[in-house]
Chain A
Amino acid sequence: MIRLGLRLSVCSGREALVRVAVTAAAVALGVGLLLCALAGVNGLHAQADRVAWLDTSAQTAASTSGGSTADPLWWLYSVDQYGSQAIDRVDVAAVGPNAPVPPGVHTVPGAGEYYASPALTRLLESVPASELADRFPGRQVGTIGAAALPSPDSLVIVIGHDAHQLSRVPGAVEVRGIQQTLANCFSCQSNSGSGSGPILQWILAGAAVILFVPMLILIATASRLSAARREERFAAMRLVGATPHQVSVIAAVESSLAAVAGVAVGFAIYLVLRLLLAHVQFTGAPLAPDDLSLTGTDVLLVVIGIPIAAVASARVGLRRVRISPLGVTRRVASPPPGAMRTVPLVAGVALLAYFAVTGKPQGNGSQLVELVGGLLLILVGLMLAGPWLTKMGSRLMTARANRPATLIAGRRLLDNPRAAFRSISGLVLALFVTSAAIGALGSIVASTAQVGGSRSADTVAAQFCGLTTSCDTSNSVRSVPAGLQAELEGVPGVRTVALIHVDPSPADRMNGVGVVSCHALAKIPVIGTCAPGADVAAIGFFLGQNEAAKSPALTVWPSAGLSAASIAGLPVEAVVLATDGSPSALERARTSLVQAFPFQGPPVVVDAIGPSQLRLLAMIRNLTQVVVVASLIVAACSLAVNIAAGLSERRRPFSLLRLTGVPTAVLRRVVALESALPLLLVASVSIVVGLLAAALLLRSQLDFAFRVPGIAYWATVVFGLAASLAIIASTFPLLSRMTGPEVARTD
């Protein structure tokens, strides 16, 4: 029977061969895209693994470095910034000759030496030393190799110190091994590491799922291509005595033949697309050339899994029809999707809205209910409501149809809204998740305060103790040397300098409060204002939002009950510099602060988020944009395959309509509307619900005001939709060919 199936597939005329070839081509497209997605995800993992060493902490086991680690290494990690670019800075000091060596360098740099990444080396050479190079003590003794860089564009520096000196620096840890993979780093995030490891793992896993689902749907759709014509042939075989089992075996042979051919061609497509894929900036940082690769497991899964899935999909397709010797009849169609399908979606939105109105739920359990319950309900609700939405959209289109194309397309969609939605259901997942992510992140990033002509982004602060309760004041509190304030005020572009002193009250200090003269605070309103009548304010956390989730610019700090003169001699907790906002002034201010207060952590812009988080957010934003475009394109490919299947079913009536003078443009409109309506409808609803979820979550969890995503996001969506519509339009020549006059004569 298998041999008969093979013979029927390839030796029973041109039509059978074309059918296998078309199905194989569609499967190949899906496989090619799937392999690209796998390679992309592998690339992201490779990129993430190379950054793992920055997460080295005191807990990192000696064995993870892979070498002899008899001597410890003092290690201090921080994230500095130049413009919008983050600079990973690692200060190290080897205690002995056998101390672990960071990747990408040959030896641990000695005191007064540093290694810089190639991109940072170029940057150091191209900008004035007062803006960057003066932050790093010593001389460059080499460049950091690619093995330690997530991307060729990464800015990384490893600075050597004297072990005795570094060991006394707050935050420095003694390590005996270098972290090698993110997977082992779940316990180290709270230490000096970059802390993005586990988050990155979740993001990559999420991106993988979002990318793979639409592609698997595409492959499943492709493997059922030409099912109607095939079923007619199977009915003829039943007439001459074939049993249902034999028909099923022949169908399986034909499907697996097309799938195997498709997988083979899919690998060729992948090799071609890989060249283009290397230029896609998944995370904003380009991947290294070797990052895009497939593992043996990937290859094995695709080579074996896709044909098995194709056979399963074909069998499922056959179960939907009853093939008798007298012909093919569709099994009793399930009732049209009802409005009850929207209940989970409405419930999910209602749950988030409830918490948005009543405020952040108390307790981790309640927050979990809101986050997981609400989002999961919405996601499942969107998938369930999709067919109903498609039905309602097509019903509206049919009711208002005055043109034949609209009428035919609307009727077809109404006939089977589930099938119309199925091919683009992967899009729901992708667009909902990415819209929610972009909506939330965009709002957080855009929350930069602007008060009285002074912007928080123009203000730089060096915080010696981080204004946190865990700070050991005996180590971190510094007094500003005489004349230093005047020197800082003399830096070109710096407008004013404010000193925040340690609160003399131990109780307040434990609560992370410093004191600042109201005269100084008035010059930097972005970090808050004094209570009326106060001479000195007790200021709390002013970098980003405070505990009350309130922007510092809007905070009125209470009076400390002290006089300005009495705090002048107190140790300094933080130095805040307001600049004219020019890039060079900001960088000079940073550099001056680093020089004045070494090892106190890089100065940061008084903004909602720090450079490390900013980099993570930029990465997520880039990734979501890639996912939006990719999922839209894949959904369009699924629609294109559906179009081909639909044309195959209707080639005779369509070709006869053309004979009677119906312009091809009318039929093109039918095809375009049948595909574009569900695509645009589902995309719009997913985006709107995603943004709504983001707005509600921001309100309940962070009390942030929601901001509609910027032009970049909408440009991405429009680009993705335009590409999708172009893919749909690419099937038009197929329409002309499949419905030519010869069809009416030969059928």
Chain B
Amino acid sequence: MTIVSAPSGVEAGGVILEAQGLVLSFGETPALRGANLSVERGEVLAVMGPSGSGKSTLLYCLAGILTPDAGVVRFDGRRLDDRSEKERSKLRRDRFGFVFQFGQLVPELTAEENVALPLLLGGLQRAQALASARDWFERLGLEGMERHRTGEMSGGQAQRVALARGLVAQPDVLFADEPTGSLDSLNGEVVMDLLTRAARDQGTTVIIVTHEARVAAYADREVIVRDGLVSSTASATR
């Protein structure tokens, strides 16, 4: 199955996500010191940087998980940072997707139920949600794994299930925090290949936080975060 239409509510082209002068400290420790970033619709962006540079914090601010001490985050032209937690939660649920490094699958649920979870949360009937979820198993090379539990899958398989869960609701933006951090290089490449291909197929903007150059190589563009600042950008040719 190939999805070619753009995600709902998003016009093709233009800036979808923008951060201006983001400042955020954890106690006495500054994490962001005035970070600026702009992400185009449909773009696959890699946010790179060494450990502790603030790249995950930047991702969480862009996704509305953390509220910056100063600065502005805009999503689809509207400010995100001044919305209530409830509004931001709804936005994350309805228009964003997430892939984390590990441990994001609900252990009690089967793989297909994990993938269907965002659709069920969106109010879809179970049968329809599971049918949509099952479509992803073939695309991600997970045929036959639908009824497996987290404990019965390898790390790479679990991460592909998490990827399907992140994309199943056709989000406007997919946030991926070190999505291959717990995988070997071969599995990492499989996951990145599937992630970028599926996202491009359905026009989803992707922001990947990583410290691995080979992961960043899958992106359209790279930015480097160092000492809480987005210090440089480079475009990749894909």
A residues adjacent to B (C-beta < 8 A): 401-404, 407-408, 411-412, 415, 650, 652-653, 656-657, 659-663, 666, 741, 744-745, 747
Contact = CB atoms under 8 A, between A and B. Distances in A.
A408 B89 contact: no
Given A415-B108, A652-B103, A745-B56, A661 B126 contact: no
The 3 closest A-B pairs by CB, nearest first: A661-B92, A661-B93, A411-B108
B133 to A, nearest CB: 12
Nearest to A658: B89
A656 B65 contact: no
Contacts of B103: 652-653, 656, 747
Contact of A661 (B94, B106, B109, B120): B94
B126 A653 contact: no
B95 to A, nearest CB: 9
A408 B100 contact: no
Contacts of B109: 407-408, 411
Interface in B74-126: 88-94, 96-98, 100, 103-110, 113, 117-118, 120-121, 125-126
B105 A660 contact: no
Given A404-B120, A411-B113, A657 B126 contact: no
A741 B56 CA distance: 12
Contact of B121 (A404, A415, A653): A404
A632 to B, nearest CB: 27
Contact of A741 (B66, B113, B118): B66
A663 B89 contact: yes
A653 B104 contact: yes
Nearest to B113: A407
Interface string B157-186: 000000000000000000000000000000
Contacts of A663: 89, 93
B106 A653 contact: yes
Contact of B120 (A402, A653, A656): A402
A657 B120 contact: no
B121 A659 contact: no
A740 to B, nearest CB: 11
Contacts of B117: 404, 657
A740 B113 CA distance: 24
Interface string B30-71: 000000000000000000000000001000100101100000
B58 to A, nearest CB: 13
Nearest to A743: B103
B107 A650 contact: yes
Contact of A659 (B65, B91, B125): B65
A660 B98 CA distance: 6
A402 B93 contact: no
Given A661-B91, A745-B56, A656 B121 contact: no
Q: Which of B60, B90, B94, B121 has the most CB of A within 10 A?
A: B121
Contacts of B108: 408, 411-412, 415
Q: Which of B90, B100, B106 has the most CB of A within 10 A?
A: B106
Contacts of B100: 656, 659, 744
A407 B117 CA distance: 9
Place the interface of chain B in its size category: 20 to 34
B107 A661 contact: no
A650 B63 CA distance: 23
B134 to A, nearest CB: 16
Given A402-B120, A662-B93, A656 B104 contact: yes
Nearest to B165: A660
A653 B93 contact: no
Given A657-B117, A661-B92, A741-B65, 4 more contacts: A407-B113, A656-B98, A660-B92, A662-B121
Q: Which of A407, A415, A652, A666 has the most CB of B within 10 A?
A: A407
B98 A659 contact: yes
Contacts of A657: 104, 106, 117
Given A408-B109, A745-B56, A401 B121 contact: no
A326 to B, nearest CB: 14
A659 B106 contact: no
B72 to A, nearest CB: 21
Contact of A653 (B66, B91, B105): B105
A667 to B, nearest CB: 10
A116 B91 CA distance: 77
B96 A661 contact: yes
A403 B106 contact: no
Given A659-B92, A662-B93, A662-B121, A408 B106 contact: yes
A594 to B, nearest CB: 71
B106 A401 contact: no
Nearest to B94: A661
Nearest to A412: B108
Contacts of B90: 661
A397 to B, nearest CB: 12
26 contacts: A403-B120, A408-B106, A411-B108, A411-B109, A412-B108, A415-B108, A650-B106, A650-B107, A653-B106, A653-B107, A656-B104, A659-B60, A659-B92, A659-B100, A660-B92, A660-B96, A661-B88, A661-B89, A661-B92, A661-B94, A661-B96, A662-B121, A663-B89, A663-B93, A666-B121, A744-B100
Contacts of B118: 660
Contacts of A650: 106-107
A412 B117 CA distance: 15
Q: Which of B94, B97, B103, B105 has the most CB of A within 10 A?
A: B103
Q: Which of B90, B100, B110 has the most CB of A within 10 A?
A: B100
B76 to A, nearest CB: 16
B94 to A, nearest CB: 7
Contacts of B97: 660
A403 B126 CA distance: 8
Contacts of B96: 660-661
Contacts of A653: 103-107
Contacts of A401: 126
A407 B120 contact: yes
A712 B107 CA distance: 44
Contacts of A402: 120, 125-126
A663 B94 CA distance: 12
Nearest to A414: B108
A741 B100 CA distance: 13
A404 B88 CA distance: 20
B18 to A, nearest CB: 20
B90 to A, nearest CB: 7
A107 B104 CA distance: 81
B198 to A, nearest CB: 17
A403 B122 CA distance: 10
Contacts of A415: 108
A710 B237 CA distance: 79
A407 B119 CA distance: 13
Nearest to A399: B126
A412 B106 CA distance: 10
A407 B125 CA distance: 12
A261 B142 CA distance: 50
Nearest to A649: B107
A334 to B, nearest CB: 17
Nearest to A330: B151
A406 to B, nearest CB: 9
Nearest to A400: B126
A34 B56 CA distance: 49
Contacts of A741: 60, 65-66
Q: Which of A402, A412, A415, A741 has the most CB of B within 10 A?
A: A402
Contacts of A407: 109, 113, 120, 126
A98 to B, nearest CB: 78
A744 B56 CA distance: 11
B21 to A, nearest CB: 23
Q: Which of A652, A661, A744, A745 has the most CB of B within 10 A?
A: A661
A660 B65 CA distance: 8
Nearest to A654: B106
Q: Which of A650, A652, A744 has the most CB of B within 10 A?
A: A744
Nearest to B65: A659
A741 B109 CA distance: 22
